[in-house]
Amino acid sequence: MRKGYAWVYSPKPVKLTKYEKEEILKKVTQYIDSSTKLKEKVSRIEVKAGRVYLYKLVEQALPLPKGAVLIKPLIDGKYFESILGRITLYDPKGQECTADWQRYNDQWLNLNKGNLESCLKFMEKETWF
Spatial strand order of the sheet with 79-89 comes to 44-48, 51-59, 79-89, 97-102, 108-114
Indicate the average pLDDT of the chain: 83
pLDDT of 120:
93
In whole angstroms, what is the distance from residue 102 CA to residue 86 CA? 8
DSSP 3-state of 24: helix
Residues 6+ apart with CB under 8 A from 52: 24, 25, 28, 45, 46, 86, 87, 89
pLDDT of residue 93: 86
With a pLDDT cut of 70, the percent of the chain lying above it is 78
Question: What does the pLDDT read at residue 107?
Answer: 87
Count of other CB atoms within 10 angstroms of residue 30: 11
Confidence (pTM): 0.78
| 119 CB-side CA count, 13 A | 28
Q: In the structure, what pLDDT confidence band is assigned to residue 118 with cuts at 50, 70 and 90?
A: very high
